[in-house]
């Protein structure tokens, strides 16, 4: 059995894994945080509900991502669930060439759900969370957050990333 420090995954296997994961559609979210380590945001699809009692979410963040360090220090985050048509917001928050001011300046109005929790007012929904647990898993950390406040936006439809492209899902 491989140890935590070793890996049995070769390059071919890793490429096959990434190709397989491209067929797993995911809702597009922007994770935001603010606090002692500054304001930061990043696009993410690795977001999942954990429980409704207490309401909690998990987000997976690569330990090499700048958000990882900032989120660990700030201890709070917001999951902004993007609506159909908000592709440009997702692209801005995944563009490493843009500063945080440029990213946040591209999203329209912001609201503060809790101290240190900036939310996109026009997101489908925004959930403010306080980090309650961090689990290390491979190259990523899984941040589990207790939901402290919810904002329901006015967006319609869902923005989904599937097959390395954005798709808009609308109610039938």
**Residue 5 belongs to a domain:** no
Distance CA 158, CA 141 (A): 26
| Residues 93-122, mean pLDDT to the nearest whole number | 94
pTM of the model: 0.89
The model's pLDDT over 45-99, given as tens digits with 9 standing for 90+, comes to: 999 999 999 999 999 999 999 999 999 999 999 999 999 999 999 999 999 999 9
**Residue 68 belongs to a domain:** yes
Give the sheet arrangement for strand 26-27, strand by strand: 26-27, 158-162, 165-169
**Residue 71 belongs to a domain:** yes
The count of structural domains within the chain is: 1
- Decide which of 166 and 155 is more confident: 166
The model's pLDDT over 7-59, given as tens digits with 9 standing for 90+, comes to: 555 677 888 888 888 878 899 999 999 999 999 999 999 999 999 999 999 99
Q: Please give the angle made by the CA atoms of 78, 83 and 87, to the nearest 5 degrees.
A: 95
Here the CATH number for the domain that contains residue 75 is 2.30.110.10
pLDDT of 5: 42
**Residue 46 belongs to a domain:** yes
Host domain of residue 80: 26-155
Distance CA 70, CA 36 (A): 8
Distance CA 117, CA 134 (A): 18
Alpha-carbon radius of gyration of the chain: 16
């Amino acid at each position: 059995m491989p140890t935590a420090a070793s890996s049995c995954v070769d390059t071919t296997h890793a490429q096959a894994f990434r190709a397989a994961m491209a067929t797993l559609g995911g809702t597009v979210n922007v994770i935001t945080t603010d606090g002692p380590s500054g304001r930061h945001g990043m696009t993410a699809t690795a977001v999942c509900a954990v429980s409704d009692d207490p309401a909690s979410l998990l987000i997976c963040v690569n330990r090499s991502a700048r958000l990882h360090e900032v989120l660990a220090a700030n201890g709070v985050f917001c999951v902004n669930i993007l609506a159909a048509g908000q592709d440009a917001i997702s692209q801005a928050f995944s563009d490493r060439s843009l500063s945080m001011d440029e990213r946040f300046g591209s999203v329209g109005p912001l609201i503060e759900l809790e101290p240190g929790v900036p939310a996109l007012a026009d997101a489908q929904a925004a959930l403010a969370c306080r980090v309650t647990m961090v689990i290390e898993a491979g190259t990523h950390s899984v941040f589990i957050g207790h939901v402290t406040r919810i904002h329901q936006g006015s967006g319609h439809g869902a923005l989904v990333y599937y097959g390395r492209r954005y798709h808009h899902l609308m109610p039938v």
